[in-house]
Amino acid sequence: MMDGMEEVLHSETNGTKSGRSDTVDLNDSTLQVDISDALSEREKVKFTVHTKTTLPDYNKPEFSVVRQHEEFIWLHDRFDENEDYAGYIIPPPPPRPDFDASREKLQKLGEGEGSMTKEEFNKMKQELEAEYLATFKKTVAMHEVFLTRLAQHPIFRTDHNFKVFLEYEQDLSVRTKNKKEKVEGLFRSINRSTDEILLAATQKDVDDYFEKEKGFLLEYHAAIKDSTLKADKMTQAHKTGVADSYIKLSTGLSQLGTIEGPRLEKFINKVSDTFEKARKVEGRVASDEDLKLSDTLRYYVRDGSAAKDLLYRRLRCLANYEQANKNLDRARAKNKDVHAAELAQQNACERFEHMSARAKEELNSFKTRRVAAFKKNLIELAELELKHAKAQAQLLKNCLQALQEE
Amino acid sequence: MADSREPPPLFNDDDDSRKDDDNDDLFTSAVQSPVSELTTPEDQTKQEGAGDPLTSPPPATSFPPDPSGGDRPDLFESCEEPSVGGFSSVPLEQPAEGGGTQQVSTDAQDPPPTPPTTPSVGSLVEIPLIVDTDQDLQPSTSSSSSLTRPDFTLFDTTPDTSETPVSSPDILSPPTTSNTSTSTTTSAQELSASPPSSSALLDLSMTLPQELSSEPPANLVDASSVEPAVMSSFITPAEEASVLDAAAPTNDDDDDAAAAAAIPTNLAGEDPALSSEEALVTVYDSETPEDPPLPASNILPPMGAPLTPPVAPITPTATPNLTPNVTPAAPTPVTPVAAARPSAEQLESESGDEFIEISISDPQKIGDGMSSYMAYKVTTKTNIPYFRKKHWSVTRRFSDFLGLHGKLVEKHLHSGRIIPPAPEKSAIGTTKIKLGSDKSSDSSSTDFIERRRASLERYMNRTAAHPTLRSDPDFREFIELDAELPRATQTSALSSAGVLRLFNRVGETVNKMTFKMDESDQWFEEKTQQIENLDAQLRKLHAAMEGLVAYRRELATSTASFAKSAAVLSSVEEHSALSRALHQLAESTERTHTIHHAQADADFYHLSETTKDYIHLIGAVKDVFHERVKTFQTWQHSQTMLAKKREAKAKAELAGRMDKVQQAQDEVAEWEAKVERSQEEFDRISRAIKKEMEQFDIVRVKDFKDMLVKYLEALMTSQQQIIKVWETFLPEARAIS
């Protein structure tokens, strides 16, 4: 069944890409990146990354390559580890494609096949397929957003690794981190977070703006994380709970109609049809809420986290700068290596100031971006909710009318 | 016998009528008689015989048709309460014009009939007596149990009556009052539970007022000596249903005598009148625990051995309801049957306009700790004439409802009626409430109470919708009597009755599993199958609905928690317009939470609970079907026994032992009668069930339609509310800049 689904996905994603790429608005056409196609092959998802550019560095104005999720992560890590980009908010990496939930459900459904009617089973299967498709589309969208943001950023888009990622036709043959690297990575991140906590506790920021920003981001991150969690729960309850119960209700009713015979059958069948349709609407409500609300929230959890990282890096930089100052003082006192210390202090100062300026810009753009994204998505959410609610109300009204005519 | 209770309104009405009328006594007697109307062929025959001498020649002719099966169907159809009443009661009443009519009136509680009753006392008196005897057969009423009167007494009385009309009326008068309080009812139930009736015994039943009873003891003794099979099936005087029940017991031939014997002592109480006229035994029903004036007693049928054989089959027929209708016709003794029919039709047409609406409100915790209980206010609105008022309320506790259901089952299940099941007891929920410090202290117990309140309300209205059940004296007492009902002790799961019930149920289940009836009636075969399918499907549907309710509740909860979280987010958000929009989002989701919650309640109360009710109703239908199977078994058993007896007789003849032949001959005759009776019983219950099922099907289809329409409307309202919510949100989102 999964194989069949892949076929569907193949074509479906094509059809929806235009709708997807507007998640981040870009007016500038120097480098346009989108994912034109995606194919799910067993565990892997292959994304076809399509690029259109006017930049002279690129050999051709338009080309496509096939990339996998791991390569996206590799790209992200290249940015993340590059000292030059320390002053920027690195776009958060896309989440790993995760279809386990869908697969699991599918398996459960298969096991429970005996306990339900064929009709019910088919409907459930359809529902699962739709869910799988939605997850798939979301995954693709996340990967695309990542690339789009890079392409849009005046500094990032000129990055060499990015160019390679977009242009190199062969497999990048990135491998997932081996054990040693993983341990190192773990160690580093522990190191980093202790450092972060330490800095947060000891380092006094010289700039109120950043101090404030830091406080905000911390709070914001916690709040939005919570909201995301709750929103997910809500859509989940809506989708797998309410919408799926409508299926059972609808089939249960139509069987009842059969048993009841002519007196009730027609009546009940109408109701059953209505439930079937209502369930589709409810399902759409749930997936639209998921797409417009949860996903926006989710994205800004990650983006906020990236912004927090930036603040950390800046704070680290500040600490370094102050250390350099101390070193300079000490050197002067000892009158030894003064020049080197001066140089170091100057470097650190420059670095810090440069970084602070960058970070300020970045944070402002983060804010603008966030507000714009929320606005857009909230409006869309409201419109979709309205649309579905109206559709359902109309559906029910029609049904009631039809019943009255009986 | 009369209890301290207030008389049920019905009775009161009767009382009033009596006062108005000169012949109070007659009325009362009349009342009794209708109640206990018997319909045994014998009775009819007796009546014929008796009737001729006594009052009106015509009755005899008229009677025969009634008893005959042909008439029955009509009656059944016409009266919603199918079974019993039609026949015997009708004829009886008519012959005794005054008495009969009065009786009818009381039973029916129809005001109109009463006035006519007054007429000739003497003749009336005689008739009533007869009637009473009939009644007696059926109802072995509650408190006292059943008495047995020798049949011969009846005969004697009839002729005598003419001579001593006065005395008879006196006797008669007491009956109405006697309706017993709970005790009687319980006893009645018990009686019904154990089929006391011997067919023969059933034939003649007399209901005598308490007063009467006092003297009769001697008579009783006589009766016992005679070997009357007494039926102890009790009946509340007014009800046809009860009559039916009595009939049912009759089938089981064996036990009666013992039960009957027990009763007499009680009877012994008072009546001189009885002694004068009759040897009949009267049993009082103490159901209405009231003033002496209202003796609504059901008379037990004493059976004189001689009378019994023919009578027995007929007995089941008498329906009190019918009688009231009949009464108007009564004045003209001729063709009671014909009169009865129109009346029945009237009933039906009337029932179309009749309305009764019961609402349960104000659940209240009374007392503290484990001894506390919930009391509910039961408010009734109705335009049915036999209720005293149009609008009133009483207070009842939960176990009262269960007690009512128990009584109704005891009385009406035998006759193939589908009795709406009462809400289930929930030990956990109840205990929680009992231990809870105050009401509304936590939401789960308020939920529980509300759920129970709603299910009680549905239960009461379902019961009230059934014309027979709603005219049942117990039911009327339940909704009308403005005092505490006697504590229903049978309802507790831990009581001895509960244990007994459990055993009975196990026995029934085994019986159900082991006995496979050869279904000769295709209708039943199909219906049984359909009911099974329906049961399974409804259960499935109910599970789906429960799922929906649970999920929708979850959705509501998660929406609420998202709303809270969004509110926090909005307070954190530094961009003011976005913050406002998020705040608005929080409010919108908060409102959708409320909508979802309300919708979940609608899911629950409209869909899930109704479906659950129907699952239980289907259970009641199955019970009724099973009742029929039991009747069938009795019939089969009788046939086997008859075959055996015949064989024995043949053997005896071969052996040339004439003494034994005679005995065998008697036995064969006895069993032949039993076979006939049980077959008739079986036919009767089959017909009654068909009738009931027809109604059940109609109501079910209607209920389901109503349920779905209501539910869809609720869904639509929800969606409209959601539209409003998002419409107010949209401008806020657009305002973000």
DSSP state of B144: T
Please give the model's pTM, rounded to 2 decimal places: 0.63
Tell the burial category of B57 from Cβ atoms under 10 Å away from its Cβ (0-12, 13-18, 19+).
Answer: middle
Distance of residue A20 Cα from the nearest chain B Cα, in angstroms: 21
Confidence of residue B436 (pLDDT cuts 50, 70, 90): low
Reply yes or no on whether the pLDDT at B516 is more than 70: no
Query: pLDDT tens digits, chain A, 406 residues: what are they?
Result: 444 444 434 433 433 333 333 344 445 567 888 888 888 777 778 888 888 888 777 778 888 888 888 888 888 888 888 888 888 888 888 888 877 777 787 788 778 777 777 777 888 888 788 888 888 888 888 888 888 888 888 888 888 888 888 888 777 666 666 677 777 777 877 887 777 777 776 777 777 888 888 888 888 999 999 999 999 899 888 888 888 888 888 888 888 888 887 878 888 888 888 988 888 888 888 888 888 888 889 899 999 888 888 888 888 888 888 888 888 888 888 887 788 888 888 888 888 888 888 888 888 888 888 899 899 999 999 999 999 999 999 999 999 998 888 6
Contact A10, A135 (CB under 8 A): no
What does the block give as tokens for B506? 């196990």
- Residue B568: count other Cβ atoms within 10 Å of its Cβ: 17
- Residues 565 through 604 of chain B touching chain A, CB cutoff 8 Å: 565-566, 568-569, 572-575, 577-578, 581-582, 585
Q: Are B62 and B298 in contact (CB under 8 A)?
A: no
Whether residue A243 contacts residue A388, with contact meaning beta carbons closer than 8 Å, is answered with no
Question: What kind and span of H or E run contains A31?
Answer: strand A31-41
Put simply, the chain B residues between 534 and 553 with a CB less than 8 A from any chain A CB are 534, 537-538, 540-541, 543-545, 547-548, 550-552
DSSP string across B339-403: HHHHHHHHHHHHHHH--EEEEEEEEEEESSGGG-EEEEEEEEEE--TTSS-SEEEEEEEHHHHHH
Chain A residue closest to B735 (CA)? A375
Q: Closest to B569 (Cβ–Cβ): which among A223, A252, A379?
A: A223
Closest residue by Cα to residue A360 from A209, A206, A196: A209
Pairing of strands B373-382, B391-397: antiparallel
By Cβ distance, the residue of B541, B561, B719 closest to A392 is B719
End-to-end alpha carbon distance in chain B:
87
Q: Does position B200 have pLDDT exceeding 60, yes or no?
A: no
Answer whether A260 sits within 8 Å of B705, measured CB to CB. Answer: no
Shortest Cα–Cα distance, B382 to chain A (Å): 28
Q: Are B456 and B734 in contact (CB under 8 A)?
A: no
Q: List the single residue in A with minimal CA-CA distance to B728.
A: A382
Picking from A211, A234, A281, A380 by the largest number of B CB atoms within 10 A of its own CB, the best residue to mutate is: A234
CB distance B733–A382 less than 8 Å? yes
Residues in chain B within 8 Å Cβ distance of A403: 705, 708-709, 712
Bigger pLDDT: B339 vs B476 = B476
Interface probe, candidates B526, B532, B538, B551, chain A, greatest A C-beta count within 10 A:
B551
Helix (H) or strand (E) holding B671: helix B658-734
| pLDDT band at B445; cut points 50, 70, 90 | confident
| Per-residue pLDDT, B496 | 59
**Which of B531, B534, B541, B558 should be substituted to probe chain A, the one whose Cβ sees the most A Cβ atoms within 10 Å?**
B558
- Please report the pLDDT score of residue B495 as a whole number: 55
CA torsion sign for A6, A7, A8, A9 is positive
What's the rounded mean pLDDT across residues B423-443? 63
Higher pLDDT, B683 or B502: B683
Classify residue B362 as left (phi > 0), alpha (psi -120 to 50) or beta. Answer: left
* Model pLDDT for residues B457-484, shown as the tens digit of each residue: 888 888 888 888 888 888 888 887 776 7
Separation of alpha carbons A135 and A287, rounded Å: 10
B residues 673-702 closer than 8 Å to A (CB): 697, 701
Q: Which H/E stretch holds residue A308?
A: helix A295-334
In 3D, which of B89, B34, B97, B10 has the Cα closest to residue B294? Answer: B10
Record the tokens describing residue B352, joined without a space. Answer: 């179309």
Cβ contact (<8 Å) for B530 and A259?
Answer: yes
Nearest-CA distance from B529 to chain A in Å? 10
CA A131 to chain B, closest CA, distance in angstroms equals 18
Backbone angles phi, psi at B69, to 5 degrees: -60, -35
Q: CB distance A264–B701 less than 8 Å?
A: yes
Q: What's the pLDDT score for residue B441?
A: 53
With 50 as the cut, is the pLDDT of residue B407 above it? yes
Q: Rounded CA gap, B644 and B553, in Å? A: 65
**A381, B534: Cβ pair inside 8 Å?**
no
Pairing between strand A31-41 and A44-53?
antiparallel
Please check the confidence at residue B148 and state whether its pLDDT lies above 50. no
B559 touches chain A (CB under 8 A): yes
In B379-398, the residues whose Cβ lies within 8 Å of chain A are none
Closest alpha carbon within chain B to A244 = B548
**Residue B60 near residue B47, CB atoms below 8 Å:** yes
Do A260 and B559 lie within an 8 Å CB cutoff? Answer: no
Residue B252 has pLDDT above 70, yes or no: no
Report the gap between the CA of B613 and the closest CA in chain A (Å): 16
CB contact under 8 A, B715 and A278: yes
Q: In chain B, what residues touch A246 (CB-CB under 8 Å)? A: 548
Cβ-defined contact of B712 to A403 (cutoff 8 Å) = yes
Residues 266-285 of B with CB under 8 A from A: none
Q: Which residues of A touch B723 (CB under 8 A)?
A: 386, 389-390, 393
Measured at the CA of B699, the angle between CA B603 and CA B455, to 5 degrees, comes to 45
Q: How confident is the model over B179-197, as a mean pLDDT? A: 38
pLDDT value of residue B724: 93
Which residue of A379, A383, A400 is the best one to mutate when testing the B interface, meaning the one whose CB has the most B CBs within 10 A?
A379
Q: Specify whether the CB–CB gap between B415 and B682 falls below 8 A.
A: no
Looking at residue A391, its pLDDT comes to 93
B489 vs B456: CA distance, rounded Å: 19
Residue B32, amino acid: Q
**CA pair distance A41, B397, nearest whole angstrom:** 66
Nearest CA in chain B to A374: B578
Q: What is the DSSP letter of A237?
A: I
pLDDT given for residue B304 in this prediction: 38
Residue B371, pLDDT score: 73
- Taking CB atoms and an 8 Å limit, are A242 and B734 in contact across chains? no
Give the DSSP H or E segment for B491.
none
As a whole number of angstroms, the distance between CA A390 and CA B455 comes to: 34
Higher pLDDT, A150 or B271: A150
Which whole-number Å values give the CA distances from B511 to B505, B515, B545, B686, in the listed order?
10, 6, 33, 19
Tokens of B665: 């001959």
**pLDDT, tens digit, for every residue of B558-586?**
999 999 999 999 998 888 888 999 999 99
**Side chain identity at residue A63, one-letter code:** F
Beta bridge partners of A34: A50
- When scoring A115, A213, A245, A267 by the number of chain B Cβ atoms within 10 A, the one with the most, hence best to mutate, is A245
The two structure tokens encoding residue A362: 């970045």
CB contact under 8 A, B708 and A259: no
No. of helices (H) and no. of strands (E), chain A = 11, 3
Q: Which of A259, A367, A370 to mutate to test the interface with B (most CBs of B within 10 A)?
A: A259
Q: Which pLDDT score, from 0 to 100, does residue B217 have?
A: 39
The C-alpha angle B319, B278, B203, rounded to 5 degrees, equals: 35
d(CA B108, CA B100): 12
In this complex, the residue of A227, A252, A255 whose CB is nearest that of residue B566 is: A227
Q: List pLDDT tens digits, range B687-723.
A: 888 888 888 888 888 888 888 899 999 999 999 999 9
Q: Do A249 and B544 touch (CB under 8 A)?
A: yes
Amino acid at residue number B195: P
CB contact under 8 A, B575 and A400: no
DSSP B174: G
- Whether B558 sits inside 8 A of A233 (CB atoms) is yes
The residues, ordered by sequence, that sit 6+ positions from B711 with a Cβ below 8 Å of its Cβ are: B602, B603, B606, B607
Distance in angstroms (rounded) separating the CA atoms of residues A247 and A121: 10
Which residue's entry shows tokens 């089941």?
B316
**How far B704 CA lies from chain A's nearest CA (Å)?**
8
Neighbour-count burial of A202, counting CB atoms closer than 10 A to its CB (0-12 exposed, 13-18 middle, 19+ buried):
exposed
Q: How many Å from the N-terminal Cα to the C-terminal Cα in chain A?
A: 41
Q: Give the span between the Cα atoms of A361 and B666, in whole angstroms.
A: 116
> What mean pLDDT, rounded, does chain B reach?
62
Interchain proximity B562–A278, CB inside 8 Å = no
State the pLDDT at residue A287.
86
Q: Which chain A positions have a beta carbon within 8 Å of B538's beta carbon?
A: 256
**Higher pLDDT pick, B435 / A99:** A99
Q: Say if CB B396 and CB B478 are below 8 A apart.
A: yes
- Encode burial over A31-62: b for 16+ CB neighbours within 10 A, e otherwise: bbbbbbbbebeeeebebbbbbbbeeeebeeee
Distance CA A37, CA A16 (A): 10
**Largest interatomic CA distance in chain B:** 118
Q: Do B705 and A403 touch (CB under 8 A)?
A: yes
| Percentage of the residues of chain B whose pLDDT score is greater than 70 | 44
- How many beta carbons lie within 10 A of that of residue B221, not counting itself? 16
The CA-based diameter of chain A, rounded to the nearest angstrom, is: 105
Short-list A170, A139, A165, CA closest to A31? A165
CB contact under 8 A, A371 and B575: yes
B-chain CB neighbours of A219 within 8 Å are 572
Is residue A379 within 8 A of residue B734, CB to CB? The reply is yes
**CB-based contact B412:B245 (threshold 8 Å):** yes
Partner A contacted by B526 (CB < 8 A): no
pLDDT surpasses 70 at B315? no
d(CA A337, CA A330): 10
**CA–CA separation, B556 vs A234, rounded Å?**
8
Here the tokens at position B217 are 């003891």
CB distance B165 to B126 below 8 Å: yes
